[in-house]
């Protein structure tokens, strides 16, 4: 009888030990492989800010090559695609980097002269696709985001109607006074066309190198009529609403003349959800700068 009691106590002790080990394994496995929501949220937010700075480095690299008319020299800028899992064995929050080159880019630009009196088109200066550098962040807890580099500007999108320009393009519109309250304006227009040598999207949470090479640069001065032409710029883009808001802001900052006469020199409309039309009036001189930029991804 005593031996049986000891045998039962031994079995109970073994079972209890096994349960304790199993419980410990479960706790440890959850600790090292399960997301911690608040920490992952903060990590994804920090990564979003970091990516914005990395896209600004791309913007600066392109502008530097344009300023010095540098060509055929590749400048690499790091871009971090996603965030690793916060516990050691948790899944990562990946991102996908896509170079949408001229062959199938979503964006395009049209620049045309229009006669100020009859509204008829005088000539088309440029009709070209633009191309984009796009990073799609598939966050787990922080809102999913998309970053765009397009025609020298940087955009961040959280849904189709929640898009903001976070760094402005190299487009300047200067009012030059004529006689009285009239203007003969100068428009400095930069067009940056993305040419991709590697169209395959890259997905992961690692850091890749984005190679920037300016293969060609063209600048020209296009004088209009002595009394000023109207220049129509149409931008077709998935972030058209942000372009629209940017040029509305530019218009609001124009001052001079009587009342709103300076602001009347620009009008901005949205013919559709994916396009914006900017009319620059009385343009006496159009300084045009066009850069062809080849972009590649180095793993």
Distances in whole angstroms, Cα of residue 82 to Cα of each of 24, 48, 68, 208? 32, 9, 33, 11
pLDDT at 74: 87
Asked if residues 254 and 266 have their Cβ atoms less than 8 Å apart, the reply is: yes
pLDDT tier, 162 (very low <50, low <70, confident <90, very high otherwise): confident
- Residue 99 pLDDT greater than 50, yes or no: yes
Of 108-112, 154-158, 226-230, least confident by mean pLDDT is 226-230
The mean pLDDT of 151-163, rounded to a whole number, is 87
pLDDT at 197: 62
Distances in whole angstroms, Cα of residue 43 to Cα of each of 141, 143, 147, 208? 10, 12, 17, 19
The mean pLDDT of 152-178, rounded to a whole number, is 81
CA torsion through residues 151, 153, 156, 157, sign: negative
Asked if residues 248 and 185 have their Cβ atoms less than 8 Å apart, the reply is: no
- Residue 27 pLDDT greater than 70, yes or no: no
pLDDT at 204: 92
pLDDT tier, 282 (very low <50, low <70, confident <90, very high otherwise): confident
The per-residue pLDDT of the chain, averaged, comes to 81
Q: Where are the domains positioned within the chain?
A: 1-33, 42-298
Higher-confidence residue: 284 or 193? 193
pLDDT at 103: 55
The mean pLDDT of 257-268, rounded to a whole number, is 68
Asked if residues 233 and 109 have their Cβ atoms less than 8 Å apart, the reply is: yes
- pLDDT 10s digits, 199-208: 688 999 999 9
Distance CA(241)–CA(249), nearest Å, equals: 12
pLDDT tier, 113 (very low <50, low <70, confident <90, very high otherwise): confident
Distance CA(70)–CA(62), nearest Å, equals: 10
Distance CA(265)–CA(251), nearest Å, equals: 8
Q: pTM for this structure? A: 0.83
Pairing of strands 275-298, 75-80: unpaired
Distance CA(93)–CA(29), nearest Å, equals: 19
As a whole-number percent, the residues of the chain with pLDDT over 70 amount to 77
- Name residues whose C-beta falls within 8 Å of residue 72's C-beta, 6 or more positions apart in sequence: 213, 214, 215
- Residue 217 pLDDT greater than 80, yes or no: yes
pLDDT at 257: 44
- Residue 93 pLDDT greater than 50, yes or no: yes
End-to-end Cα separation, the chain, in angstroms: 72
pLDDT at 46: 92
- pLDDT 10s digits, 47-83: 999 999 999 999 999 988 888 876 778 889 999 999 8
pLDDT at 259: 42
Give which of 266, 269, 192, 255 is closest to 231, Cα–Cα.
Answer: 266
- Name residues whose C-beta falls within 8 Å of residue 41's C-beta, 6 or more positions apart in sequence: 141, 142
pLDDT at 196: 77
CA 250 remoteness from chain centre: 19
């Amino acid at each position: 009888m005593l031996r049986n009691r000891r045998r039962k106590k031994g079995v109970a002790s073994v079972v209890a030990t096994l349960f304790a080990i199993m419980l410990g394994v479960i706790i440890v496995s959850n600790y090292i492989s399960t997301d911690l929501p608040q920490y992952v949220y903060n990590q994804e937010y920090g990564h979003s800010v970091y990516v914005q700075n990395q896209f600004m480095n791309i913007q600066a690299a392109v502008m530097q090559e344009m300023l010095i008319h540098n060509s055929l020299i590749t400048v690499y800028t790091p871009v971090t695609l996603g965030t690793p899992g916060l516990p050691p064995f948790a899944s990562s929050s990946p991102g996908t980097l896509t170079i949408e080159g001229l062959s199938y880019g979503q964006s395009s630009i049209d620049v045309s002269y229009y006669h100020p009196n009859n509204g008829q088109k005088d000539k088309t200066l440029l009709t070209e696709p633009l191309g984009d550098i796009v990073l799609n962040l598939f966050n787990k807890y922080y809102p999913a985001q998309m970053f765009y580099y397009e025609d020298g500007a940087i955009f961040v999108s959280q849904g189709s109607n929640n898009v903001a320009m976070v760094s402005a393009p190299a487009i300047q519109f200067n009012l030059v006074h004529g006689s009285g309250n009239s203007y003969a304006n100068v428009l400095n227009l930069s067009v940056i066309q993305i040419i991709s040598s590697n169209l395959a999207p890259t997905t992961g949470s690692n850091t890749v190198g984005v190679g920037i090479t300016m293969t060609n640069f063209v600048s020209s001065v296009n004088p209009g009529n002595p009394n000023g032409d109207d220049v129509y710029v149409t931008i077709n883009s998935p972030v058209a609403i942000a372009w629209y808001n940017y040029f509305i802001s530019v218009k609001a900052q124009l001052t001079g003349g009587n009342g709103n006469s300076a602001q009347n020199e620009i009008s901005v409309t949205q013919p559709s959800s994916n396009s914006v039309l900017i009319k620059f009036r009385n343009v006496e001189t159009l300084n045009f700068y066009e850069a062809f930029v080849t972009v590649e991804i180095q793993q």
